[in-house]
Amino acid sequence: MDYVAFGTAISTDPRFRQAGYTLCTMMLDCHAADPGFAQLMSDRTQAHIVGVCYHLHPQANAAAVLRLLPPDTGSRNRVTAHIHALERRGALMAAPRGRDGRTRNLMLTPVFQSWVDRWVDAVVLPALPFVGTPPENLGDPALRQTWFSRWVAAQTMGVRLTSRLPKVRRFMELRGGYVVMNELLRREYAEPGAITTRFSRRELAARYGLTRTHVIDLIAALEAEGWLSDGPLGPVPTETMLAETRVWHGLHLGAAALVLSGMLMPTIEDALAARAAASA
């Protein structure tokens, strides 16, 4: 299925606003629950590395992760450095030794696995309204590992949520840009009258582990782009911003719906094999 056409259609669907609100709320709550863990997945490469580690769990190691990452994901040095950072910051731990004692495998720590499962839920579950037949046993923890693997596999095959949206991508790549944009959009998607508090740069900074000055700078950058205007409760997205972010969230929800339905590439190994065959 053409995920671009599907996602674009979702962005104009009457159910989009509620799904967008759910997406923003779940993802922001996940980031606020542990800003340190969120920083370990702050860009596509980092999330891809964690996804492959989860796919291999509990037998991840640098060599195995590198084999399952497409060449354009990141350099060997960056991948290795991020795996070390994950272990140093309590996200990965040494796995029990197998028969081959020469290989030191790693596994997600229980606390990080719990957080990653919550992140996966935030990524895919808001798309349930757009899935014809929802998966059974949504509470099964093993499904999170499967969904994350499919999400990584889809990106391996070329699914890109911001490739056609360079301004969205630029703000997403700024530290804190993702949460600031989604906080503004969460307020925009909320039912009329549901938001009664002013937008607070100080509270946003405290919630997501940022400095107030950094949040002020991000808001100023969005204003300079013409993406924000003054509202009764603080800055609000302009139609210029919404024209792009609706497409971004529509593509996200479309890809997530295909992940939930199993219509996207089922495994990372299959995606790599298909990519290699296509380029042969």
Over residues 106-164, the pLDDT tens digits come to 999 999 999 999 999 999 999 999 998 888 888 888 899 999 999 998 888 878 888 88
d(CA 275, CA 75): 19
Q: What does the block give as tokens for 18?
A: 């509620």
Over residues 35-59, the pLDDT tens digits come to 999 999 988 899 999 999 999 999 9
Task: Please name the helix (run of DSSP H) or strand (run of DSSP E) that holds residue 107, with its range, or none.
Answer: strand 106-108
* Closest of 152, 124, 162, 163 to residue 265, by C-alpha: 152
Note whether 223 and 235 are within 8 A (CB). Answer: yes
d(CA 7, CA 196): 31
At residue 197, what is the residue type? T
Angle value at C-alpha 87, between 94 and 206, nearest 5 degrees: 140
Question: What backbone torsions phi and psi does residue 228 show, to the nearest 5 degrees?
Answer: -130, 150
Whether the model clears a pTM of 0.85, i.e. scores above it, the answer is yes
* Closest of 87, 28, 21 to residue 53, by C-alpha: 87
At residue 21, what is the residue type? Y
